A and B are shown apart, each in its own frame.
Chain A
Amino acid sequence: MRACGGDTILDWTHAGPSIIASFLASLVEFVEALTIVLAVGTVRGWRSAIIGTVAGVVFLALLVLIFGPRLQRIPITTLQLVVGVLLLLFGMRWLRKAILRAAGIIGLHDEDAIYAKQTNALRNDGTPGAARLDKIAVATTFKAVVLEGLEVVFIVIATGVVGHTLLPASLGAAAAGIVVIALGLIVHKPLSRVPENMLKFAVGILLSAFGVFWIGEGLHFGWPGEDLSLFGLVGGFLAVSALLVLTVRRTASTVASLPVVHASPSADRKGDAS
């Protein structure tokens, strides 16, 4: 591999963010899926939970095998625009939510609470038979793996297909899967210490940057610095998002202090206590 050849830099400009985005996004989704699989396995038995999980993984693999190669036949400009718009919508949705969570406007994702809620719900669904297949367990794990995995599949295909980095993106997702499964086997409880919002923040920024970059390319706008502008977009989204978190936090603390001012006798005397 050349250390500083033009091709190598160009490949890593696309492959680097693509691997990081798919690894981080997959980490978040696998942690969420693991919580439900652990809850099902603990309450309803591991046999049915594993069957549901494997069925979900096979279903997702079929989706990738069916749609992955077909997407590469679509003309590059159309692909850039369609994938760019979808990535942008997906990324900016995550980014908006991550900013609001970081600013304390909406609550953080709590894996322990989800695990407790899921186990309670599964206990209330009756006791599974010892020998036969537990349909509730299979359906719950299948649904969890497919729904969380669908996001992984979308991110891997979307970040990989346009820049021809499908393999590196898949490796990033696979690495995240291995890490989460290994940790799940070791700790045997939900991975509640994973800084999920920070990961979603990072993924939101990366996917939004990818999305706007591909849309610009698809519209033939031409980015200053060409492929390297991807890093500028990441920096731009990061800077604005950090600023928004600080602004919203500051405004929230100002608003929180207002009732004290209004309750003061001087404010009452002026007749503006409402």
Chain B
Amino acid sequence: MNVIVTALKEVFGLFVEDGIYAVAIIVWLLIAAFALPHVGAVAWRAPLLFVGLIVILAENVIRSAKRAR
């Protein structure tokens, strides 16, 4: 049982290290999936999806850097 729990923790750790960061990505993907089809032109949807992720990355890196100092 212990081995399975350890293995599952390791697999989870492959994708999630900073919980807030991972949640922010998932929430943005959900917003993109459900809201973006109702706003703006079709051509903007994919670039907006990318821009949202870039904003999440930048915010997290700057926040992590501030926290580390």
Contact = CB atoms under 8 A, between A and B. Distances in A.
Interface of A: 85-86, 88-90, 92-93, 95-97, 99-100, 103, 105-106, 147, 150-151, 154, 208, 212, 215-216, 219, 221-224, 229, 233, 236-237, 240-241, 244, 247-248, 251-252, 255
Contact of B25 (A92, A221, A224, A236): A92
Given A92-B25, A223-B46, A248-B61, A86 B17 contact: no
Chain A binding surface SS class: helix
Contacts, number: 102
A147 B17 contact: no
Contacts of B56: 92
Q: For the complex of A and B, list the 5 residue pairs with the smallest distance between their C-beta atoms, beginning with the closest.
A: A221-B46, A89-B15, A221-B45, A216-B46, A248-B65
A233 B57 CA distance: 14
| Interface size of B as a range | 35 or more
Contacts of B22: 89, 93
- Give the one of A92, A95, A96, A99 with max B CB within 10 A: A92
A248 B46 CA distance: 28
Contacts of A85: 26, 29
A236 B68 contact: no
A244 B55 CA distance: 11
Given A90-B14, A93-B17, A248-B65, A240 B45 contact: no
Contacts of B26: 85
Nearest to B68: A105
Which of B18, B22, B33, B46 is packed against the most chain A CB atoms within 10 Å? Answer: B46
Given A92-B57, A222-B42, A236-B50, A86 B15 contact: yes
Interface in B27-52: 29, 32-33, 36-37, 42-43, 45-47, 49-50
Given A90-B15, A240-B57, A96 B45 contact: no
Given A89-B16, A93-B18, 4 more contacts: A151-B14, A222-B42, A244-B62, A252-B65
